[in-house]
Amino acid sequence: MSFLDIAKNRYTTKKYDPSGKIAEETIAQLEEILRLSPSSINSQPWKFTFISDDKTKNELSKVSFHNEQKVKDTSHVIVFSVIENVKDFEKWNLSRLPERSEVYYNRMVKPKGEAKIKSWLSCQVYISLGFFLSTCASMDIDSTPMEGIDTEAYDRILQQEGYKTLFAVAIGYRDKDDVNQPSITPKFRLEKENVIRNI
């Protein structure tokens, strides 16, 4: 399938088939693909937590607002987290990178102050989300990106240390009657002339 067809067919799944489990070897591939996500200066300020344990998924579902049923029914939930502390980032991530990366960070990012540094770090994790959603679609795995979750409660349940939940992604296989699939609900996007500019 061409990437254009993948983009047309992927969609945010709203209802999962609870019996649809993703094979362990497929999960191992997804783990490796996430690890290979690109980021500015190769900063990699992330942690990806894969959850298939039913008890943990049930606990998470209770703090997932309108996403409750998806979290319960899906095969796996992946929690995307960002490193919490700028000092830890500088100590653990930056120190492993080539000198030119450190120079870029010290010149272009660090002078902007803590809030902007943290926002820049979070942006890197969002890049991995785009990478991941496309990957899943190319492997015929259905997915739901979810910002609509109680991220602090996720941190507590997962006993996160040094990292903070930004969002999660449910992955699995759709219920055959899921009304959000493009064959039932056509995709809505802004017109090309509103979002593409050619000079």
Ligand X SMILES: Cc1cc2nc3c(=O)[nH]c(=O)nc-3n(C[C@H](O)[C@H](O)[C@H](O)COP(=O)(O)O)c2cc1C
Minimum distance from residue 13 beta carbon to ligand X (Å): 8
Tell me the closest approach of the beta carbon of residue 60 to ligand X, in angstroms. 13
Share of the chain residues as helix, strand and coil, in percent rounded to the nearest 5: 50, 15, 35
User: Residue 5, interface with ligand X (CB under 6 A)?
Assistant: no
- Residue 61 or 94: the one with the smaller Cβ distance to ligand X is 61
Q: Which of 128, 144, 160, 165 binds ligand X (CB under 6 A)?
A: 144
- Is position 146 an interface residue for ligand X (rule: CB under 6 A)? yes
DSSP 159: T
Strand locations in 22-148 (E): 46-51, 76-83, 142-146
Is 16 an interacting residue with respect to ligand X (CB under 6 A)? no
Is position 11 an interface residue for ligand X (rule: CB under 6 A)?
Answer: yes
Q: CB nearer to ligand X: give 74 or 144.
A: 144
In this structure, the number of other CB atoms found within 10 A of the CB of residue 67 comes to 22
In the chain, the N- to C-terminal Cα span, in Å, equals: 31
Contacts of 139 (CB under 8 A, 6+ apart): 26, 29, 30
Shortest gap between Cβ of 62 and ligand X (angstroms)? 15
Longest dimension (CA), the chain: 54
- Using rule CB under 6 A, residue 148 touches ligand X: yes
Nearer to ligand X, 75 or 105 (CB): 75
> 1: which residues sit within 8 A by CB, 6+ positions away?
9, 138
Residue 67 as a binder of ligand X (CB under 6 A): the answer is: yes
150 sits near ligand X (criterion: CB under 6 A)? no
Contact 78, 168 (CB under 8 A): yes
Say whether residue 128 binds ligand X (CB under 6 A).
Answer: no
Least separation in angstroms between residue 48's CB and ligand X is 15
- Residues at the site binding ligand X, with contacts judged by CB under 6 A: 11-12, 14, 67, 144-148, 167, 187
